[in-house]
Structure 1
Amino acid sequence: MIKLIASDMDGTLLNASMQISEENIQAIKYAQSKGIEFMVATGRNRKEALPPLQEAGIDCAMITLNGAQVYDETGNSLFTVPISHEQTRSLIDLLKENDIYFEISTSNGIYSESQTRRIENFAIHTAEAMPHLTHKMAIAMTAARLEFLPINYVDDFSELFSIEELEFLKVICFHQDGARVLGPITKIIDGYGDLVVTSSGQNNIEINHRNAQKGIAVAHVAKDRMISLAEVMTIGDNLNDVSMLQLAGVSFAMGNGELEVKEVAKYLTDTNIEAGVGKAIVRAIDENL
């Protein structure tokens, strides 16, 4: 029987409106009534992840920034896995040389050098999720949404290295040409040794320390709870979810998930628009997967 469920958020737990559907909420409560712990494992930072969870009335532990930070259900930090200052400087130089827009997630929040490029690149992601939108509609919707997400703007990322005790946790890069541009960059970063590159969309890559992965974090939490990996269930849709899908005794890929994710997961559920997470949770419990 499963004792711990870890679910991705974007494209998984959240629907097209970036909310947790009532069916998903009820399934999570159903699991909790059986003594099963539910937690999220997301590429978002904690401040970005909290609003939809609070709106749904869900208090849970969180794996954030792909595993770079882990919190208990009360918001206490359990551990952090940062990228070194030296490698962060190397990443900044590499990405700027190739004119790639990127943001840096730190222990003090997210930093960007350009609000305009931030909106443009997130609009691409919005358009992917909702292809019926025109470009102008995607820009408008993105600008409205990002207005409520906390971010810090700086003239130059070099300013960050003077902030005492600041830790660099994740670098996320965007390019409208996707793999054609980001693929070669990924190969260069793979050569750095201590870093891992994943993705949560067609037009981005996410860079973490190699020990900051969702799978490693889920295993850490399970061990802390004295739960075997065979009793862990994970749910995801994209490449940054693969590490946690590979280790869990029960793993579900979303119907809207990437092909590689579906090949790794043991089971397939419906899309995020069809409350695939809720259906997976109920199935896993009722069928004793």
Structure 2
Amino acid sequence: MIQMIASDMDGTLLDEHMQISEENIQAIRYAQDKGIQFMVCTGRNITEVLPALSDANITCPMITLNGAQAFDQNKNVLFTAGIEQELALAIIEILEQEHIYYEISTNEGTFSQDLARRIETFAAFLCERMPHLTYQMAIAMTSARFDQLPIKIVPNLKAYINQPQVQVLKIIGFEHKRPEILAKVRQKLQDFNELAVTSSGSNNIEINHKMAQKGLAVKQMAELLQIPLTQVMTIGDNLNDLSMIQMAGVSFAMENAIDDLKAAAKYQTDTNVNSGVGKAIFRAIDEKLT
């Protein structure tokens, strides 16, 4: 029987409104009441994770930034896998050569140096997740909510990460108008053996230290909890979830998942807008899936 569940957030645990549905909340409670350890495993920074969990009144461990950092339920850091400053600067150089907008997540939060492109990028993300929105509506929503967004604007990201107290945890690049450029960048980054390069959507590229992968982080959390991987369940929808889907004894792909993830997962569940996570949790527990 499963003893630990790790769920992705965007496209998985969260619905089209970026919230955790009531069915998903009830399933998480059902698992926790049975002594099963539930946690999120996401590409988000902890400051982007906490609002959704707080709104749902869920307290749990968190694997963030694709495995670059993990926290216990009291927000204490359990482990970290960062990118060295010199390597981070080389990555930035490649992204800037291709005119790709990027953000950097560090031990101090998530940072950008271009407010206008941040708003445009987030608006495009909202349009993708909420198709009923027009782009103009999404721009207005993003601009109005900027003060609530967990990101900090600095004049120069290269100068910022050169500070000795800063530890780079993840770099993410966005390209909505020229997604083919991301493949070119991915090819260039293959020269750096220290990196893990993945994505959480067709219009982004996520860059971490090679030890910062969801599968490795799930394995490390299971070891800390003394739970065998055969009794670990993972749920995801995109490329950055593949390593944890392959790692776990019980794995679910969302109905809205990419084909590669569906092929790798043992089981499939409903879409994120139809509480697929909740359905997977109830099924795994009630049917004693292995």
TM-score range, shorter chain: over 0.9
TM-score, reference length from structure 2: 0.97
The change in CA–CA distance for 1:178 and 1:32 in structure 2 (over 3 A counts) is farther
SS in 1 for 2:196: strand
1:240 and 2:247 are equivalent in the alignment: no
Match of 2:3 in 1: 3
1:274 and 2:268 are equivalent in the alignment: no
Alignment RMSD, CA only? Answer: 1.1
Aligned AA (1:66): N
CA offset digits 1:213-258 (Å, max 9, x no partner): 0100000010111111110000001111001000101111111111
In the TM superposition, residue 142 of structure 1 has moved relative to its aligned partner by 3.0
Q: Structure 1 unaligned segments of length 5 or more: list them.
A: none
Counterpart contact for 1:255–1:270, Cα < 8 Å = yes
Q: How does 1:161-240 map to 2 (within 5 A)?
A: 161-177=161-177, 179-240=179-240
Percent of paired sites with the same residue: 55
Match of 1:108 in 2: 108
Aligned AA (1:140): A
Counterpart contact for 2:161–2:167, Cα < 8 Å = no
1:122 and 2:119 are equivalent in the alignment: no
SS in 2 for 1:150: coil
**Cα separation, 1, equivalents of 2:50 and 2:62:** 9
**Cα separation, 2, equivalents of 1:132 and 1:245:** 31
CA offset digits 1:27-70 (Å, max 9, x no partner): 00000111101000011111110011011111000000000000
**Cα separation, 1, equivalents of 2:178 and 2:263:** 22
In the TM superposition, residue 143 of structure 1 has moved relative to its aligned partner by 3.0
In the TM superposition, residue 125 of structure 1 has moved relative to its aligned partner by 1.7
1:51 and 2:51 are equivalent in the alignment: yes
In the TM superposition, residue 145 of structure 1 has moved relative to its aligned partner by 4.3
In the TM superposition, residue 161 of structure 1 has moved relative to its aligned partner by 3.5
SS in 2 for 1:170: strand
**Quick check: 252-261 or 73-82, which moved more?**
252-261
SS in 1 for 2:148: coil
Match of 1:152 in 2: 152
Counterpart contact for 2:105–2:170, Cα < 8 Å = yes
For these two proteins, the number of residue pairs brought into alignment is 289
In the TM superposition, residue 129 of structure 1 has moved relative to its aligned partner by 1.4
Q: Structure 2 unaligned segments of length 5 or more: list them.
A: none
SS in 2 for 1:74: coil
**Cα separation, 2, equivalents of 1:131 and 1:219:** 36
SS in 2 for 1:51: helix
